[in-house]
Structure 1
């Protein structure tokens, strides 16, 4: 009886095919490209894949919470594969768009709120900039565009501090910060 259950699992069905495709597009290919980026000396590809992994983790987290609703969306699994392909492709810069427009502002608010919890503050201290974004109570009253501008300014201030503190011997490293600064904006 157990053998028949195993055989039925091997039969290619819509669910099994889309799961395999999602694994190939969303995990295996990005993992291979991330390994290549780690081994290369360029910083641009590292940023691309780190951005992708943050977006992927956010997508998986949202899917986990909303799965009971998502299974009722027609062709959701195919839409998910297409969305993963769009996020993965460096040509479309989908991960960069999703990160800067949706994920980053949300995470900045979450970090600001986490910094107010005394037991969590040491873990998020490195994320805090010299210019605080705003208090969580004020953040909820502000509109999304204002928060986005404040977050962009905080990142710009951080990059300026890093650039100013670099020594004359590290001119090559300064040039490497510029693509990161452009990416953050």
Structure 2
């Protein structure tokens, strides 16, 4: 036990990146979320809620794929940079990831969860929201749009053109 604590205190690559990820991904966003709760405006509340949804989605994906991610060189540093990008209000990363990826896929997942008997009561409570049909149509359209973009990028890279990912996003080009 004591030996394990001593090894955790040695400043190794893994320990330092873990500490940095904790500071960037948890401590700073928690403080900013508290400021947002105490402020009178609601815009910052929404931004931090989107961050926490994206953060929990990232943790869920990492939990499932950690066996592979651990072998990717510099993954932990990339993870810290990604969490900083998600958290910084200047980059609006959480807003973009939430609206383009997380929200559409989660809405589709809730619709699928309705078909499972064990999850039906919870899904039906969520689905009883009056605007759910509109949300569902938007989500399905967004998922189809994302799949279409991926197909276009694959076709463009096969033809030697610049990928669509290098073109500015509409929300950022304004």
TM-score of the superposed pair, with normalisation by structure 1: 0.68
Change (3 A) 1:41 1:74: same
The Cα of 1:144 is off from its aligned counterpart by 1.3
Task: Tell me what 1:145 maps to.
Answer: 145
Task: Tell me what 1:57 maps to.
Answer: 56
Task: Tell me what 1:20 maps to.
Answer: 19
- Following TM superposition, the consecutive aligned residue runs of length 4 or more in structure 1 with deviations greater than 6 angstroms are none
Partner of 2:133, secondary structure, is: coil
- Looking at CA atoms only, which structure, 1 or 2, has the larger radius of gyration? 1
Task: Tell me what 2:102 maps to.
Answer: 103
Change (3 A) 1:29 1:146: closer
**Distance between the aligned counterparts of 1:52 and 1:120, measured in 2?**
26
Partner of 1:41, secondary structure, is: coil
- The 5-angstrom pairing of residues 1-185 of structure 1 reads 3-128=2-127, 129=131, 131=133, 133=136, 144-145=144-145
**Distance between the aligned counterparts of 2:91 and 2:119, measured in 1?**
36
Q: What's the CA shift string for 1:53-101, capped at 9, x where partnerless?
A: 0000000000000000001111000000000000000000000111111
**Distance between the aligned counterparts of 2:24 and 2:64, measured in 1?**
22
Q: Which runs of 5+ in 2 are unaligned?
A: 148-174
Looking at both structures, which has the greater relative contact order when contacts are Cα pairs under 8 Å and sequence separation is at least 6? 1
**Distance between the aligned counterparts of 1:51 and 1:84, measured in 2?**
13
